[in-house]
Amino acid sequence: MSIIAIDAKIVIKEITTTGTTFTMGPSTDHTDGSWNATDIYPSEFGFNSGDGKLFIGTNAGVQELTLVPTGETTGVPLQFVSGTTNSVKPSFGTHTFDTASTNSVILGGDNNIMTGSTNSTIGGGKGNTMTTSVYSFIGGGKNSSNIANFFSTIGGGHNNDIYSSNYSTIGGGKYNTHTEGSSNTIGGGYWNVITGCSWSNIGAGFYNKILGVFADVSTIGGGDNNNITNSSECIIGGGQSNNIEGGDFNSILGGRSNEITSTGDFNSILGGRSNEITSTGDYNSIGGGYTNTIDAAAIAGTIAGGWGNDVGSSFSSIAGGQNNDTSTFANVHILGSSITATVANTTYVEALDVKTGGIMNDDNGTILRKKVIDIGDWDMDATTSLNVAHGLSATEWKTIRTITGIIRNDANTSYFPVTNAGDDLDVIIANFNSTNIAMSRKLTGTYDSTLFNATSYNRGWITIEYTPA
């Protein structure tokens, strides 16, 4: 006789070992001695209370049951993690989820790890790790780590790491790293690094680095092998192997192997190759070119371009050309090539041709060119005349329009103009030919003196104005 119990409790077969699944019984009689504790009949339920999984026996074998919300046709087999507070992981794949994690979730993928984290998420992927982080996120990808962070995000990619860098983000790419800072962003690329600073950004590229506790609010847009070290609010737009180190508010727009390695601020290099600003001063700029340098303590120096130019003085500039040098003289400006400044507050121009207007035109509008020549060694006490080579060509010497000169004494304390006639102070330009300018003094007078008898000494200068052939 069968006994029917009204309102009796339905008992579902239970196992408690995490990871264990149910199996179909080997016979239709579970009392015949062949059954295991995990065996169930067709249409019988089995529940693993260790990991919260529900199973049912069917004619096709044991199936795990998945709850699907109303209106949905498929579902993700998620389960609460035993021993945690409101933490969830999928029933598929192999995931590690420790009991110290609270209100956290692994949604999918395989071999993902959640340890000691709160309110954090791993969306999927493989081999991703969330450790002792709060309100942090890994979207997917492979072998990325979000460790000891608050509110930090890794979108995807592989082998990307954020360590002890709160409010930071890596969008994707591979082998990108944030460490020991906060609020930093790496958009993508690979092997990019931000360490020790805050509010800094690398857009993309590879092997770019922003390093140091003083490198806050700095940006590298892209390129490769660019570095900003301990320089705040600086920017490298792109290019290759550009470097900023030391000062603040400095910028390199692009190019290759350009460097700002000074303690000065507000300096900039727009492009070119192997240009350097090493000055301790501020407001210096190099437009482009190759191996141009602004150094020493220059302030507000400028090199527009060219090759091998050097500004070492303040408020000075080189327009271009090659191998120009302002030396240490302030307010010097150079237009030409191979010009070295010898005095401050001077503009140096190589072979200037003024086409219209301007002080270098004669009355007929002919272009004039000036040339300054050293007189050289002249013991005026012993010798009354001297020939000075002018160095003009066979056609140029015939276009000489003006010759003037300056004589100085041995002590370099008095200067005397060269004239063509007058009292006993005069030295005259006697004549000139295809090679020399002939100078002579009066037989007696001021220059017939031991004050003018030094040798191995430049006696003065001759200035020629001529029309270039």
- Phi, psi dihedral angles at 450 (to 5 degrees): -70, -5
Q: Is the separation of the CB atoms in 55 and 46 below 8 Å?
A: yes
Q: Is the separation of the CB atoms in 187 and 202 below 8 Å?
A: yes
What distance lies between CA 176 and its chain's CA centroid? 17
Residue type present at position 415 = Y
Name 103's Cβ contacts closer than 8 Å, sequence gap at least 6. 85, 86, 87, 118, 119
pLDDT on residue 379: 96
pLDDT on residue 368: 77
Residue for token digits 């999927």? 124
Pick from 221, 252, 223: nearest CA to 239? 223
pLDDT on residue 2: 47
> DSSP class of residue 42?
T
List beta partners, residue 154.
Answer: 138, 170
Class of residue 450 by CB neighbours under 10 A (exposed 0-12, middle 13-18, buried 19+)? exposed
pLDDT on residue 67: 53
Tokens of 263: 């303690």
> DSSP class of residue 245?
E
- Domain locations along the chain: 13-64, 263-350, 369-466
Averages of pLDDT over each 10 residues, the chain, 469 residues: 53 83 86 86 85 84 68 60 83 87 91 94 94 96 96 96 96 96 96 97 97 96 97 97 96 98 95 97 97 96 97 97 96 96 92 48 63 95 95 93 93 87 67 94 88 95 86
Tokens of 229: 């070290």
List beta partners, residue 64.
Answer: 55
String of DSSP letters for 379-442: -TTT-SEEEEE----TTTGGGEEEEEEEEE-TTS--EEEE-SS-STT-EEEEEE-SSEEEEEE-
Regarding beta strands 145-147 and 129-131, do their DSSP bridges make them parallel or antiparallel, or are they unpaired? parallel
Residue for token digits 């737009």? 237
Q: Is the separation of the CB atoms in 116 and 99 below 8 Å?
A: no
Query: DSSP E strands: which ranges in 203-255?
Result: 209-211, 219-220, 227-229, 235-236, 243-245, 251-252
3-state SS assignment for residue 452: helix
pLDDT on residue 144: 97
> What is Dmax (Cα atoms) for the chain?
161
String of DSSP letters for 166-182: ET-EE-S-BS-EEEEEE
Pick from 354, 389, 351: nearest CA to 371? 351
C-beta atoms surrounding 166 within 10 Å? 20
Pick from 255, 279, 258: nearest CA to 267? 279
pLDDT on residue 3: 52
Exposed e or buried b for every residue in 419-439, given b needs 16+ CB within 10 A? eeeeeeebbbbeebeeeebeb
